[in-house]
Chains A and B, each alone.
Chain A
Amino acid sequence: MRRALVLLVAIVALGAWMGFGAEHPKIGLVLATGGLGDRSFNDQGFWGAERAAEEIAAEYGVSVDDVLDYVEPRSIADYESFYREFSRAGEYAVIIGIGFDHAPILEEVAPDYPDQKFVVIDAVAAVDNVASIVFRDQETAFLCGVVAGMLSETRKGGVLGGMDIPLIRRFVDGFTQGMKWIDAEAEVSVRFVGDWGNPTLGKELSLELYRGNADIIYGAAGASHLGTFAAAEERDGWWAIGTDVDQAWSAPEHADVIIASGLKRVDLAVYTEVMKVIDGTWEAGVIEYGMATDEGIGTGIAFGPWDVSDYIEASYSTVALPNNVVKDILAKLNEAVEGIRDGTIVIETE
């Protein structure tokens, strides 16, 4: 027994000793409950942090694992203890939370560690030492509307929203104005699922929209708009537009109907925020990402076979469009991007 005790003490002492001596900046990343491999927010956030960690690691001659520590909480209930563990360690230059549901916890934890820098993605936590990253979703939605306007033969588009809340209204407004920017006579119908995780109802409502003569539907309903993709499979000439990441990649079984996807570049935002901390230009507060912002990046669209710019990326979509049609649409998208960036296109939101 005594020998075991001595061994135990030795192990603890060794552990304490190994904790010292870290001089390079470290990044703490708290992912959302879906965990890595979600082909969405978590993966994107991780890539952004990884890219930043690679640059830091190269500069200090250490490995990426030394720089980046991340945790995958199993439930929202785990968030607080992870934030406190990272904060208490005192060795992280910045602690990043991926996802809106981190905000209430950060509002409780962050004030306890006033010298710790926090970043929360896609939500606002009103604390002095938190940078709250929000995206101009209406810009992304506008680009999606441009694609819809160019492709719709019925001159009618649809939006499947998760819930009737301001966030989703921004998607609807952006999409509608983008479509009308191409075709002033175009119409947009909207349905709300009332749930982010109900693809069955999402499919029913999408079929309603398609049968109401919309031939292209923009999904802004989380997992519920997987039902939109399923509905689009039912007839030729029905198309869908995905959200946040290139969904032709994240839902490859529907790559034959997903013509484009609006992008929320969580990876770029995370990378940029970490680098700001390293450069000493980091600031707390609400920070908007998008084309018409100080950051100048963060929104965009995945469409077509080529990476065109920071805003127009190649898509894994397998929809076969004639080359000249793709080129026309890309030209219009470029025009829209320029317009949004220089302020000649102003997207009205409620």
Chain B
Amino acid sequence: MKLLRELGIVGVSVALGLGVGAIITAATGYSVPAVFRELVRGAFGDIYGFANTMTQATPILFTSLSFLIAFRVGLFNIGAEGQLLLGGFFAAWAGFTLNLPPILHVVVCLFFGAAAGAAWGFIPGWLRARRGANEFVTTMMLSYVALYLTSWLVSPGGPYHGHQWANQTARIMSSAELPRLMASGRELPSWGLVVGVLVAVIAWYFLFRTPRGYEIRAVGQSPLAAEYGGVDIARAQILAMVLAGALAGLGGAAEILGTHRRFIEGFSPGYGWDGIAGGLIARAHPIGAVFAALLMGALRAGGRAVDRAGVAPSDLAWVFQGLVILFVVAPELIRYFKRIRLRRRAHGRPEP
């Protein structure tokens, strides 16, 4: 019943977002039916439309999981974008440098991606737990460090500039590719989607069925109670941030190995940010994240179809996306900030 109510709320919010989007579309002089036709067709219209939705949803699933695992311990990881980029780069590096047999190569590349992301999550986690540094600031700033670092690595002056002009690395070896699911291995989505769903299930198991997961949730719900209960708050916070980073890094790795086959400067059109919305829409539940990511992916896929069909400028498609996210996420976000303010006041910690 609770699930049904939550679904109802999300449904109404999506409808509100689309409604306001329709008003803006009409007001700017574009055809509302045409825009909606393309939105739906691009996201669900045929098997390839749905494939586009799933392709876009894959990295968002990882970043949603990344966001929600930190959220569960009471931290706000808004650095998934950087963790994703860094994970993508290191996966690509392992993909074109190491020479390994097919399946092992993929696993090793994914591991490299996860490890790079984990390192990028550890820093803000440690700073938060041991030094009280606000994770909003540190994760966001580290995100920019990762963005510009990877950008430099593949720029003409950097060490991994693979193609004569385009800012990207060399192609990964075929042994490191995550195969694609459709049209005998040609068409996206890639097996990254399967990995993502699997990881979501593991994340669920970890959070709800293991002592460590319980500790993380306990700290998130009431740090004081958790402390009285003997939970090491700092350790739980660091662990959650490391896992959050690893999940985002894994997402970047899956995207590179399955979709792009080389690291491309700025390959993420904001998947890390979408993860914040995805995690909140999912109400911080790993299985919910699968469906939240599908919703976000559908918006992206539909937006691309609007752009390609030329019924409205792509900017308008992004307006739709922004509105839907706003309407779906806003109530949850307000609730969260109310809670965190109360809690941080109780702890005498700085407010965000």
The residues of A with any CB-CB pair to B shorter than 8 Å are 8, 11-12, 14-16, 18, 65, 69-72, 74-78, 80-82, 84-86, 88, 100-101, 104, 108, 112, 163, 165, 167, 194-196
Contact = CB atoms under 8 A, between A and B. Distances in A.
Q: Which of A15, A75, A81, A112 has the most CB of B within 10 A?
A: A15
A156 B52 CA distance: 57
Given A12-B45, A16-B45, A104-B163, A78 B269 contact: yes
B37 A11 contact: yes
Interface string B178-207: 000000001110000000000000000000
Nearest to B46: A16
A77 B188 CA distance: 13
Nearest to A71: B308
A69 B157 CA distance: 36
Contact of B40 (A11, A71, A82): A11
Interface stretch (B132-140, B164-172, B235-243): B164-172
Interface stretch (B61-69, B120-128, B260-268, B286-294): B260-268
Contact of B308 (A69, A100, A167): A69
A24 to B, nearest CB: 15
Contact of A101 (B165, B171, B266, B269): B165
Given A81-B52, A81-B304, A196 B165 contact: yes
Q: Which of A11, A72, A77, A84 has the most CB of B within 10 A?
A: A77
A254 to B, nearest CB: 24
B166 A100 contact: yes
Interface of B: 36-38, 40-41, 44-46, 48, 52, 55, 155-157, 163-168, 171, 186-188, 259-262, 264-269, 304, 307-310, 314
Contacts of A163: 156
Contacts of A8: 40
Given A12-B44, A14-B37, A163-B156, A76 B265 contact: yes
Contact of A100 (B40, B55, B165): B165
Contacts of A70: 310
B187 A84 contact: yes
Contacts of A194: 156-157
A327 B165 CA distance: 39
A85 B37 contact: no
B166 A76 contact: yes
Q: Which of B166, B188, B307 has the most CB of A within 10 A?
A: B166
B269 A15 contact: no
Given A11-B36, A81-B188, A196 B156 contact: yes
B166 A72 contact: no
Given A77-B267, A194-B156, 9 more contacts: A15-B40, A16-B41, A69-B308, A75-B266, A81-B52, A88-B48, A100-B164, A104-B171, A196-B156
A12 B41 contact: yes
A235 to B, nearest CB: 30
A194 B308 CA distance: 36
A18 B157 CA distance: 50
A104 B308 contact: no
A108 B187 CA distance: 11
Contacts of A72: 307, 314
Contacts of B40: 8, 11-12, 15
A77 B156 contact: no
Q: Which 8 A-B pairs have the closest CB atoms?
A: A101-B166, A77-B267, A15-B41, A15-B37, A76-B264, A77-B264, A112-B186, A71-B308
Contacts of B171: 104
B14 to A, nearest CB: 11
Contacts of B268: 77
A66 to B, nearest CB: 10
8 contacts: A11-B36, A16-B45, A16-B46, A69-B308, A69-B310, A76-B166, A76-B267, A88-B48
Nearest to A30: B308
Contact of A69 (B37, B165, B262, B309): B309
A64 to B, nearest CB: 11
B12 to A, nearest CB: 12
B171 to A, nearest CB: 8
Nearest to B308: A71
Nearest to A77: B267
Contacts of B165: 100-101, 196
A85 B43 CA distance: 13
A340 to B, nearest CB: 27
A63 to B, nearest CB: 11
Q: Which of A12, A69, A195 has the most CB of B within 10 A?
A: A12
Contacts of A11: 36-37, 40
A74 B271 CA distance: 13
Contacts of B186: 112
Contacts of B309: 69
Contact of A195 (B157, B265, B269): B157
A307 B315 CA distance: 38
B3 to A, nearest CB: 15
Nearest to A163: B156
A85 B187 contact: no
Contacts of A16: 41, 45-46
Nearest to B167: A76
A71 B155 CA distance: 25
Contacts of A100: 164-166
B156 A104 contact: no
Nearest to A167: B164
A196 B266 CA distance: 17
A69 B187 CA distance: 22
A104 B36 contact: no
Contacts of A167: 164
Q: Which of B45, B165, B262, B267 has the most CB of A within 10 A?
A: B165
A75 B46 CA distance: 25
Contacts of A85: 48, 52, 304, 308
B114 to A, nearest CB: 21
A85 B45 CA distance: 13
A165 B166 CA distance: 14
B53 to A, nearest CB: 12
Nearest to B56: A81
